[in-house]
Chains A and B, each alone.
Chain A
Amino acid sequence: MAANPLYHEIILEHYEYPRNRRACACADATARGANAMCGDDLLVSLRLDAPGGTLEEVCWDGHACAIGEASASMMSEAVKGVPSAEARRWVNTVRAMVTGHAKEMAPDLELGDLESLAGIRQYPVRIKCALLAWEALDEALGIAERKRSATPAGT
């Protein structure tokens, strides 16, 4: 039987062996991605390193569908170790990819496993699932950046 067009092997592999799924110790910011209609609920936590604003730690926990959890797992791999401004570009690129706005994707980002989520755009009701963790990351980045700018330099 043919492979399922939505449930790509890469998605299933991340669902089965999720990366960075744990409660994040000493996080700078945590945000929630929830879908009240289906009961999905993810927490995304991150920690920025003090001088450069790089995402030192990104982790997530909670419950979602295979698409939602695989996307969270791939997200944690993609943005770990990148500067927060670049993490924002990742958010925008993935958002553009799954909503079918390819022109708005950053051409220099190496999508890797995330490319397996491109097919979601053909399933409009599942776009929210794929973006659940990414929207939470976006919010957590905002919280962490506001905290940094509120803290005087050198402290």
Chain B
Amino acid sequence: MAVIDIARAQQTPETPLDVDAIRRDFPILAQTVNGHPLVYLDSAATSQKPRQVIQALVDYYERHNSNIHRAAHTLAARSTELYERTRTRLAGFINASGPAEIIFTRNTTEALNLVAACWGGGHIGPGDEIVVTQMEHHSNLVPWQRLAEGKGAHLKFVPLTPTFKFDLAAYAELLSPRVKLVALPHVSNVLGTIAPVAEVSRLAHEVGAVVVVDGAQSAPHMPVDVQALGCDFFALSAHKMLGPTGVGALWGRTALLEAMPPFLSGGSMIGEVQWTKSTWAPLPQKFEAGTPNIADVVAFGAAIEYLERLGMERVRRHEVELMRCALGALREAHPELTHYGPGDLDFRGGVLAFNVGHGAVHPHDVAQLLDGQGIAVRAGHHCARPLHSVMDAPSSVRASFYVYNTTEEVDALSRGLDEVKRVFRRVIERPQ
């Protein structure tokens, strides 16, 4: 530990990440795919896992495994302590007021559904309005559609500016006392757009609305301080931030969470159970019915520790530099690409969506040809189909960056796109 502390003491937010050292922590990256070194550019879908996280999982099952919050034996106490340690660590990571404000879920989707069911169920009524944005992932759209439909409420959409930014002026116009809830992504999973959450929250609170933030694409990539953001709920997924699949978290303000009914009910979440009625456990257990995903929560703790050691300011800077490099290289070498997302990198996460030849080459074909060269990108609508109608494209190709990506991999992407251009040259060059 002393070595790490010395390293941290010497590192400032300006110190670049030691990507070579980071890559040595990710066993999966040292492989070839289709005869080429793997270039993994799909971290917005799920990140790779460092050996520290994998080892935490193995350690848990080999040495500590037991159910939590139950038995008095030593293993049970140890498991409970490890599980709760992640809660405390995550509370610090996003600057929650305390660990009781952190609810473990399966993923961001479940966290958002929890808010829709337990807060929305009690606070949204006929004629009320729910404001969301045009850049929602389906996870932060469909639960609100269902809530609005069930309650006779209406959805309103904040448009994007022509440069794919959050349109703050249009948002302000949508606000009225009828608006009870505002839901938005902190960072768009397609455009990379960073939303001005602090300003959104301030304006929403002026009309008495609560603010729900889908943080699935921000928590892994930049410093998150829920107090500074001023929002009321913040959802994230462990698997996008170097952690295992099957764990997400909801942060909510204590007063709101305490006033909400439980989500699922059964074991662990109860206070006192009688034959015909029960009372609920205090936060956070009230929202964690049944045996949770203990091992993966424990390993998630190792992922947060890894990110804290790198420093989230440095993670953010690394991705901004990769984006600067990628946008520069691709604009020069590949004029046949249509880019989506803000060009201003202060408003852009490490997500690069594009189409080839104004959509003349289908994203699946692009991704297939890149895969043939070992390059993993995503093709499709990225669970944001309505957004693609705003982009005027049925689907897109998405490359996304993380701590282990290098500028050499950006060059590999550019060379990979040379092959796409070669195979589809005639359709790219055909007049539209």
Contact = CB atoms under 8 A, between A and B. Distances in A.
Contacts of B430: 16
B422 A12 contact: no
B379 interface: yes
A101 interface: no
B422 A1 contact: yes
A38 B368 contact: no
Given A1-B422, A65-B362, A123 B427 contact: no
B385 interface: yes
B178 interface: no
Contacts of A126: 364, 368
Interface in B378-432: 379-381, 385, 388, 394-395, 419, 422-424, 426-427, 430
Main secondary structure of the interface of B (DSSP, over half): helix
B240 to A, nearest CB: 19
Contacts, number: 53
B372 to A, nearest CB: 7
Nearest to A9: B423
Nearest to A66: B365
A129 interface: yes
A10 to B, nearest CB: 13
B361 A66 contact: yes
B210 interface: no
B229 interface: no
A6 interface: yes
Nearest to B396: A39
Nearest to B381: A39
B368 A16 contact: no
B350 interface: no
A153 interface: no
Interface string A12-41: 100110000000000000000000011111
A65 B365 contact: yes
A129 B367 CA distance: 14
B369 A4 contact: yes
Given A16-B430, A63-B394, A66-B361, A39 B369 contact: no
Given A1-B422, A7-B369, A38 B364 contact: yes
A16 B426 contact: yes
A52 to B, nearest CB: 37
Most chain B beta carbons < 10 A, residue from A1, A6, A7, A63: A7
A64 interface: yes
A74 interface: no
A7 B380 contact: no
Interface in B14-41: none
B362 A64 contact: yes
Interface in A24-76: 37-41, 63-68
Nearest to B368: A6
A12 B380 contact: no
Contacts of A68: 362
A55 B55 CA distance: 62
A38 B380 contact: yes
Contact of A16 (B385, B388, B427): B427
B50 interface: no
A38 B380 CA distance: 4
Interface string B320-364: 000000000000000000000000000000000000000001111
Contact of A7 (B381, B395, B423): B423
A65 B372 contact: no
A68 B379 CA distance: 15
B429 to A, nearest CB: 11
A68 B364 CA distance: 10
A38 B363 contact: yes
Contacts of A7: 365, 369, 423-424
Nearest to A15: B427
A146 B128 CA distance: 48
Given A4-B372, A7-B365, A129-B364, A38 B381 contact: yes
A28 B395 CA distance: 31
Interface in B150-190: none
A37 B394 CA distance: 11
Nearest to B393: A39
A39 B388 contact: yes
24 contacts: A1-B419, A4-B372, A4-B423, A6-B368, A7-B365, A12-B423, A12-B427, A15-B427, A16-B430, A38-B363, A38-B379, A38-B380, A38-B381, A39-B388, A63-B394, A64-B362, A65-B362, A65-B364, A66-B365, A66-B424, A67-B364, A68-B362, A123-B368, A126-B364
The 9 closest A-B pairs by CB, nearest first: A65-B362, A39-B394, A65-B364, A39-B395, A38-B380, A66-B365, A39-B381, A65-B365, A7-B423
Interface of B: 361-365, 368-369, 372, 379-381, 385, 388, 394-395, 419, 422-424, 426-427, 430
Given A12-B426, A64-B362, A67-B364, 19 more contacts: A6-B372, A7-B365, A12-B424, A16-B430, A37-B380, A38-B364, A38-B379, A38-B380, A38-B381, A38-B395, A39-B385, A63-B394, A65-B362, A65-B363, A65-B365, A66-B362, A66-B424, A68-B362, A123-B368
